[in-house]
Amino acid sequence: GLTKLEHLDLWGTEISNKGAANLKGFPSLSFINLAWTKVTVLPCLSSLKCLNLSNCTVDSMFDGYEAKVPLSRLIFAGSMFNNPLENFSCLDTEHLYFLDISCSSFHDFCFLNEMSKLTYLDLSSGNMSDAMIDPVAAIGANLRNLNLGNTRVTTVGVAALAGAVPKLETLSLSRTCIDDAVFYYLGMMPALCMVNLSNTSIK
Protein backbone atom coordinates (compact mmCIF):
# COMPACT_ATOMS: atom_id res chain seq x y z
CA GLY A 1 0.00 0.00 0.00
CA LEU A 2 0.91 3.66 -0.52
CA THR A 3 3.54 2.71 -3.08
CA LYS A 4 2.77 5.92 -4.99
CA LEU A 5 3.26 8.19 -1.96
CA GLU A 6 5.59 11.05 -2.91
CA HIS A 7 5.16 13.72 -0.20
CA LEU A 8 5.16 12.99 3.55
CA ASP A 9 5.03 15.49 6.42
CA LEU A 10 5.88 14.03 9.85
CA TRP A 11 7.32 17.10 11.56
CA GLY A 12 6.67 17.43 15.28
CA THR A 13 5.57 13.80 15.64
CA GLU A 14 6.92 11.13 17.99
CA ILE A 15 8.49 9.15 15.15
CA SER A 16 11.75 7.40 16.11
CA ASN A 17 14.55 5.74 14.16
CA LYS A 18 12.58 2.50 14.35
CA GLY A 19 9.60 4.15 12.71
CA ALA A 20 11.76 5.95 10.17
CA ALA A 21 13.20 2.61 9.06
CA ASN A 22 9.77 1.81 7.60
CA LEU A 23 10.06 4.70 5.16
CA LYS A 24 11.92 2.42 2.77
CA GLY A 25 8.52 0.85 2.11
CA PHE A 26 7.60 3.96 0.09
CA PRO A 27 9.61 3.59 -3.15
CA SER A 28 8.25 6.80 -4.70
CA LEU A 29 8.91 9.11 -1.74
CA SER A 30 10.54 12.31 -3.00
CA PHE A 31 9.79 14.76 -0.15
CA ILE A 32 9.90 14.13 3.59
CA ASN A 33 9.69 16.55 6.50
CA LEU A 34 11.00 15.16 9.80
CA ALA A 35 11.70 18.49 11.50
CA TRP A 36 11.34 18.60 15.29
CA THR A 37 11.45 14.80 15.64
CA LYS A 38 13.81 12.39 17.41
CA VAL A 39 14.96 10.77 14.17
CA THR A 40 18.78 10.65 14.01
CA VAL A 41 19.24 8.30 11.04
CA LEU A 42 17.28 7.43 7.91
CA PRO A 43 17.21 4.35 5.70
CA CYS A 44 18.59 4.81 2.20
CA LEU A 45 15.83 6.43 0.12
CA SER A 46 17.09 6.60 -3.44
CA SER A 47 13.95 8.38 -4.70
CA LEU A 48 14.29 11.26 -2.22
CA LYS A 49 14.73 14.77 -3.62
CA CYS A 50 13.89 17.01 -0.65
CA LEU A 51 14.70 16.32 3.01
CA ASN A 52 13.87 18.49 6.02
CA LEU A 53 15.61 17.50 9.27
CA SER A 54 15.42 20.90 10.94
CA ASN A 55 15.90 20.96 14.71
CA CYS A 56 17.04 17.35 14.80
CA THR A 57 20.22 15.66 15.99
CA VAL A 58 21.73 13.85 13.02
CA ASP A 59 23.96 10.84 13.66
CA SER A 60 23.95 9.43 10.15
CA MET A 61 21.87 10.94 7.39
CA PHE A 62 21.39 7.62 5.61
CA ASP A 63 22.03 4.22 7.17
CA GLY A 64 23.76 1.62 5.03
CA TYR A 65 23.57 3.60 1.80
CA GLU A 66 24.70 1.67 -1.27
CA ALA A 67 24.55 4.54 -3.75
CA LYS A 68 24.75 8.26 -3.16
CA VAL A 69 21.35 9.92 -2.77
CA PRO A 70 20.69 12.63 -5.42
CA LEU A 71 18.95 15.17 -3.19
CA SER A 72 18.16 18.60 -4.63
CA ARG A 73 16.94 20.37 -1.44
CA LEU A 74 18.31 19.95 2.09
CA ILE A 75 16.95 21.81 5.11
CA PHE A 76 18.82 21.45 8.40
CA ALA A 77 17.87 24.67 10.20
CA GLY A 78 18.79 24.41 13.87
CA SER A 79 20.14 20.87 13.57
CA MET A 80 23.07 19.29 15.39
CA PHE A 81 25.48 17.08 13.45
CA ASN A 82 27.67 14.53 15.18
CA ASN A 83 29.78 13.93 12.06
CA PRO A 84 28.99 16.48 9.32
CA LEU A 85 31.68 15.41 6.85
CA GLU A 86 30.57 11.77 6.95
CA ASN A 87 26.92 12.77 6.63
CA PHE A 88 27.40 14.88 3.54
CA SER A 89 29.67 12.31 1.91
CA CYS A 90 26.64 10.08 1.27
CA LEU A 91 25.07 12.68 -1.03
CA ASP A 92 25.29 13.03 -4.77
CA THR A 93 25.80 16.80 -4.64
CA GLU A 94 25.65 17.09 -8.43
CA HIS A 95 21.93 17.80 -8.07
CA LEU A 96 21.94 19.78 -4.80
CA TYR A 97 20.86 23.36 -5.42
CA PHE A 98 19.21 24.37 -2.09
CA LEU A 99 20.90 24.12 1.33
CA ASP A 100 19.61 25.64 4.58
CA ILE A 101 21.90 25.12 7.57
CA SER A 102 20.85 28.24 9.45
CA CYS A 103 21.02 28.21 13.26
CA SER A 104 23.19 25.11 13.07
CA SER A 105 26.32 24.15 15.00
CA PHE A 106 28.88 23.78 12.19
CA HIS A 107 32.42 24.95 12.95
CA ASP A 108 33.88 23.72 9.65
CA PHE A 109 32.35 24.41 6.25
CA CYS A 110 34.79 22.54 4.00
CA PHE A 111 31.99 20.15 2.99
CA LEU A 112 30.63 23.03 0.89
CA ASN A 113 33.51 22.52 -1.54
CA GLU A 114 31.63 19.55 -3.03
CA MET A 115 28.42 21.55 -3.61
CA SER A 116 29.25 23.64 -6.66
CA LYS A 117 25.69 23.53 -8.05
CA LEU A 118 24.15 25.39 -5.10
CA THR A 119 21.98 28.37 -6.02
CA TYR A 120 20.50 28.94 -2.53
CA LEU A 121 22.60 28.86 0.65
CA ASP A 122 21.41 29.90 4.11
CA LEU A 123 24.16 30.15 6.73
CA SER A 124 22.40 32.67 8.96
CA SER A 125 22.61 32.63 12.76
CA GLY A 126 25.51 30.17 12.69
CA ASN A 127 29.27 30.17 13.18
CA MET A 128 30.31 31.42 9.74
CA SER A 129 33.11 34.00 9.94
CA ASP A 130 35.68 35.68 7.70
CA ALA A 131 38.16 32.90 8.46
CA MET A 132 35.73 30.26 7.17
CA ILE A 133 34.31 32.06 4.13
CA ASP A 134 36.63 30.51 1.50
CA PRO A 135 34.44 27.43 0.81
CA VAL A 136 31.52 29.77 0.05
CA ALA A 137 33.64 31.73 -2.42
CA ALA A 138 34.83 28.46 -3.98
CA ILE A 139 31.27 27.44 -4.87
CA GLY A 140 30.03 30.95 -5.63
CA ALA A 141 29.73 30.57 -9.41
CA ASN A 142 26.07 29.49 -9.34
CA LEU A 143 24.86 31.11 -6.11
CA ARG A 144 21.82 33.35 -6.51
CA ASN A 145 20.67 33.70 -2.90
CA LEU A 146 23.05 33.85 0.08
CA ASN A 147 22.06 34.53 3.68
CA LEU A 148 24.91 35.45 6.05
CA GLY A 149 22.69 37.32 8.50
CA ASN A 150 23.56 37.20 12.20
CA THR A 151 26.97 35.61 11.60
CA ARG A 152 30.50 36.80 12.42
CA VAL A 153 31.17 37.86 8.85
CA THR A 154 32.59 41.38 8.42
CA THR A 155 33.50 43.50 5.41
CA VAL A 156 36.64 41.35 5.08
CA GLY A 157 34.48 38.30 4.42
CA VAL A 158 32.38 40.13 1.85
CA ALA A 159 35.60 41.18 0.11
CA ALA A 160 36.53 37.50 -0.22
CA LEU A 161 33.26 36.90 -2.05
CA ALA A 162 33.65 39.83 -4.46
CA GLY A 163 34.37 38.51 -7.93
CA ALA A 164 33.39 34.96 -6.92
CA VAL A 165 29.59 35.32 -7.07
CA PRO A 166 28.74 36.57 -10.59
CA LYS A 167 25.10 35.37 -10.45
CA LEU A 168 24.28 36.42 -6.88
CA GLU A 169 20.98 38.30 -6.80
CA THR A 170 20.02 38.33 -3.11
CA LEU A 171 22.40 38.81 -0.17
CA SER A 172 21.58 39.21 3.51
CA LEU A 173 24.20 40.73 5.81
CA SER A 174 21.80 41.82 8.55
CA ARG A 175 23.17 41.79 12.09
CA THR A 176 26.77 41.45 10.90
CA CYS A 177 29.81 43.62 11.69
CA ILE A 178 30.11 45.22 8.27
CA ASP A 179 30.92 48.91 7.69
CA ASP A 180 30.55 51.43 4.88
CA ALA A 181 33.51 49.93 3.02
CA VAL A 182 31.26 46.98 2.15
CA PHE A 183 29.64 48.99 -0.67
CA TYR A 184 32.86 48.84 -2.67
CA TYR A 185 32.76 45.04 -2.64
CA LEU A 186 29.01 44.84 -3.22
CA GLY A 187 29.67 46.84 -6.37
CA MET A 188 31.74 43.91 -7.63
CA MET A 189 28.68 41.63 -7.62
CA PRO A 190 27.12 42.42 -11.02
CA ALA A 191 23.78 40.57 -10.63
CA LEU A 192 22.99 41.84 -7.13
CA CYS A 193 19.49 43.32 -6.90
CA MET A 194 18.47 42.81 -3.26
CA VAL A 195 20.65 43.42 -0.17
CA ASN A 196 19.69 43.33 3.51
CA LEU A 197 22.00 45.51 5.62
CA SER A 198 19.60 46.02 8.54
CA ASN A 199 20.92 46.19 12.10
CA THR A 200 24.51 46.87 11.03
CA SER A 201 26.91 49.78 11.56
CA ILE A 202 26.33 51.24 8.10
CA LYS A 203 26.39 55.07 8.25
Residue 113 binned pLDDT confidence (cut-offs 50, 70, 90): very high
Return the C-alpha torsion angle 70, 73, 74, 75, nearest 10.
Answer: -160
The pLDDT of residue 83:
78
The pLDDT of residue 16:
95
The domain ranges of the chain are 7-196
pLDDT at 1 over 80: no
Of 95-104, 105-114, 139-148, 151-160, minimum mean pLDDT range: 105-114
Buried b (16+ CB within 10 A) or exposed e, 39-67: bbebebbeebbbbbbbbbebbbbbbebee
Q: Find the mean pLDDT for residues 4-29.
A: 95
Report residue 21: phi and psi, to 5°: -60, -25
For 81-102, what is each residue's pLDDT tens digit? 887 777 788 888 899 999 999 9
For 45-69, what is each residue's pLDDT tens digit? 889 999 999 999 998 888 766 668 8
DSSP labels, 51-109: EE-TT-EESEEEET-SS-B--SEEE-TT-EESSHHHHHTTB-GGG--EEE-TT---S--
Closest C-alpha among 101, 2, 6, 118 to residue 61:
101
- Whether 80 and 55 have beta carbons less than 8 Å apart is answered as no
The pLDDT of residue 65:
62
Please provide the CATH number assigned to the domain covering 7-196: 3.80.10.10
pLDDT at 30 over 90: yes
